[in-house]
Structure 1
Amino acid sequence: MASADTTRATDVWLPIPATEIDGLPEDLSYVHWDAGPEYPADPARCAFYAVPYMKPADRILKPLPEMANVRVVQTLTAGIEHMLPAVPRLPAGAKLCNARGLHDASTAELTLTLILAALRDIPAFVRSQDAGQWRQGFRDSLADKSVLIVGYGSIGSAIEDRLTPFECARVARIARTARDTVRGPVLPLAELPAMLPDADVVIMATPLTEDTRGLVGADFLARMKDGALLVNIARGGVVDTKALLAELESGRLRAALDVTDPEPLPATHPLWHAPGVLITPHVGGPSTAFLPRAKRLLRDQLRLFAAGEPLRNVITTAG
């Protein structure tokens, strides 16, 4: 790509109207674009591109080849795998930033919802309600269970914060690298095989990378204890769907999935009707918690950008 003429780049493209975000720097020029068919301005004049949220990848990537002077691409998602194909074509020095912290509360809430709903068999109670049937019986409690969180970034930490009142027997943590936290040690990924057999609930909260794609495969699942619950709020590609289906259909494991592979899950896919599975349609992030946090993130990043200070959440720099 030709060297960028940064003197032309003065616009900030926002998926939220600038008038709805308090405290934006006054010396920047704002345009609103939420992945509509028409561009709000010349993409070549865009210096800061805030990527529209929950829009098709082809639509949000479309203007990037024309953004020859862009200096920052800011997603509103924690995962950025959908943006990586565009990085080699960005101007040298352009930074790709994710939205670490934006979805922590909402995703952690959904994680606990999925765990409790799956353990207490809420879907069965809903079906009984629809049928007008009163069916009592004992169900699993989260209390006294051993929980393993695989992926201990800000979302994994937020999940543990919300597990604390539920009197779990133990919460163990696995991440790419070992470290200590105020809640206890985070063990390296190499320790995962040894940790799986003791966990009643295994929560996947990892980013989707070449190292984690298919991480939850046949060997991983075989190490989980009988009756254990797999919860995936990461990305569908972290789990080998065929291997998971085999375990679900045997009745040995249960699963609660906010993400699937493929996604969206086709109406005829057998995962919909597998025994012991609860599925939500990738709704960890979209809740009423999203908009105020998205506005704060964009305001804070643009203040740093306008001041020429280092941005937060920089994942990679083109070049």
Structure 2
Amino acid sequence: MQHGKYRFIVGFLAAPLALYAIFVIWPFIQSIYYSFTDWTGLSPDFEMVGFDNYSKMLEDQIFWDSLWHSLIFALLLPLVTLGLALFFAFMLNVGGRRRKGAAIAGVRGSGFYKIAYFFPQVLSIAIVAVLFAFAYNPNEGAINGLLRAVGLDSVQPQWLGDPDTALWAVMAVLVWSTVGFFVVLFSAGMASIPKDFYEAALLDGASRFTTFFRITVPLLWDTVQSGWVYMGILALGAESFAVVQIMTVGPGGPDYSTTVLVLYVYQTAFRDGQAGYATTIGVALLVITLALAALVMRVGRRERLEF
């Protein structure tokens, strides 16, 4: 009986594991292999160059600038996005005023707010980037137009044209486009927390601020931790690439002020024809992503709370 059970399990998992190995593991192995070559990405001919690509990467200032921008995204984007999402979800579920028949309730119109916050998730990130590129236009954009409307004519930043503001303008778009997903996710988690916990805390004289940090965050910590890892991967991957590629001058400018690692991999491979060097940067990006995920899981590990 036991032998038949294990045979069934192995047979059930064989096809998925084979597909995973072919389409995920094997490309990783190929990338590591090509990182030791001078492959152009077009010609079938290439030579092994050893660690030359890695030595070149360590001396490449654009690589270090891109790495710094990616780390800013990976550290600040989850912090801002998850912080806002937790606050909004708390207000929508338990942060409202006490009403007749319900000591614990969300703000009025919470159902509408959840839809409004989630709406950016319906839009493609490419559409969001195009819309905000128009909004950031210094002459005809909605943001500077609003500043002029309220009498701030002297405050007219070159949002995407100034190296000091371009990176933060791009990050704001990523926050706007992703915060709604986590508002809905955290709202679902908060809805499962018994209201008795909040009522007992309020009867003991706890403030909303205290209940947020003493009840809500500890009971949602596993969800927050998973969200941090997801946001870190998102910030290092396709989302940041799409926004920077579409919105910024160059793209990646001005003066490489918004270039991120994934964009630099794309430019090196398809613009410069240095696929071998691009895979080297890609391997570095893989190591950084895995290290970030492991760090978050390690630092954020705590005793599991159940209710």
Smaller-chain TM-score range? Answer: under 0.3
Of Structure 1 and Structure 2, the greater helix share is in: 2
TM-score (norm: length of structure 2): 0.27
Instruction: Pick the structure with greater CA Rg.
Output: 2
TM-score (norm: length of structure 1): 0.26
Q: Which has the higher contact order (CA 8 A, sep 6+)?
A: 2
Of Structure 1 and Structure 2, the greater strand share is in: 1
